[in-house]
Amino acid sequence: MDKNKRQREWEDALNLMTEEELQFIREHPVGYYQNFVKMATKKAWEIIDDPYPIPENEAVKNAILHILGEMGCQCEIDEDDEIFFCCQGAEFSIRFDEEFEYIKIVDNSWKKVNLNDSEAVLKMTLAINRANIWNNVTIVYIIDKEEEVLDIFSSSSIPYFPNMTYLKKFLHNKLVEMLSSHDLVNRFLQEEKEFAINESFSQIQSHEAN
């Protein structure tokens, strides 16, 4: 369906709803399109004849900062409105898309591998590839030639819901997933080491037998 046509149909449907029906959509957003929930929220403010309190982008940022504050995270905001914070020793940043439909979470530089250690680099890339298969978080590595390291990052996104309860749940669960990805990569790294040790031992035994 054409995007503009669908939006007009949503507007027509919302115009027929009562304040209670609009608030119900706002408070129970699961199952609705995100844009539809946003339109219902703004329509509810129009019905009660009260100006929409703050722009949507400010509402998103304030909600995120409030949730992170409840979680005990110290936050900073840079000139690009990117939020930086620490959680359980890991450094994160949060970025928003232009329409504030999705919240991008980045787990910044949580591991480094010396590029001169080719064996360690190979094991790390294998561990990351395995972890990406089993994980809901995308783990990436960047070659930093200046520091001569393989720099490891993680990233993921969550949809923005105006309802604070759902937003808090999504954000909390995603941070848990991202922190768990550290353990997953480390576990696969250990398996790679054990495999290398066992393979070397087998080669020694084979050589002695000959």
Total structural domains within the chain = 2
Identify the three-state secondary structure at position 155: strand
pLDDT of 6 above 50: yes
Query: How many CA atoms are closer than 13 Å to the CA of 55, on its beta-carbon side?
Result: 5
d(CA 2, CA 35): 15
Q: Which of 22, 37, 53 is the last residue of a domain?
A: 53
CA dihedral 87, 56, 78, 74 (to 10 degrees): -30
Whether 143 and 68 map to the same domain: the answer is yes
d(CA 25, CA 13): 12
Whether 193 and 93 map to the same domain: the answer is yes
Whether 48 and 61 map to the same domain: the answer is no
Whether 48 and 68 map to the same domain: the answer is no
Confidence band, pLDDT 50/70/90 cuts, at residue 207: very low
- Please give the residue range of the domain that contains residue 32: 3-53
Strands 75-77 and 149-159: unpaired
Whether 74 and 15 map to the same domain: the answer is no
Domain containing residue 110: CATH number: 3.30.1460.10
Eight-state DSSP code of residue 89: T
pLDDT at res. 199: 46
pLDDT digits (tens, 9 = 90+) for 144-156: 999 999 999 999 9
For the chain, give the mean pLDDT. Answer: 81
Helices within the chain (DSSP H only): 3-15, 19-27, 34-47, 56-70, 118-134, 164-209
Whether 69 and 138 map to the same domain: the answer is yes
pLDDT at res. 206: 47
Whether 98 and 110 map to the same domain: the answer is yes
- What type of residue is 83? I
Whether 103 and 173 map to the same domain: the answer is yes
Whether 170 and 93 map to the same domain: the answer is yes
Q: What length is written for the chain?
A: 210
Instruction: Read off the tokens for 206.
Output: 């084979």
Confidence band, pLDDT 50/70/90 cuts, at residue 97: confident
Whether 90 and 191 map to the same domain: the answer is yes
Whether 14 and 82 map to the same domain: the answer is no
Alpha carbon 128 to chain centroid, angstroms: 17
90-96 β-sheet, strand order: 75-77, 83-87, 90-96, 102-114, 149-159, 138-144
**Residue partners of 174: CB distance under 8 A and separation at least 6:** 105, 137, 156, 158
d(CA 121, CA 138): 18
pLDDT of 134 above 80: yes
Whether 73 and 149 map to the same domain: the answer is yes
pLDDT of 204 above 60: no
Q: Which of 53, 78, 94 is the last residue of a domain?
A: 53
- pTM exceeding 0.85: no
Q: Can you tell me the mean pLDDT for 19-24?
A: 79
pLDDT of 48 above 60: no
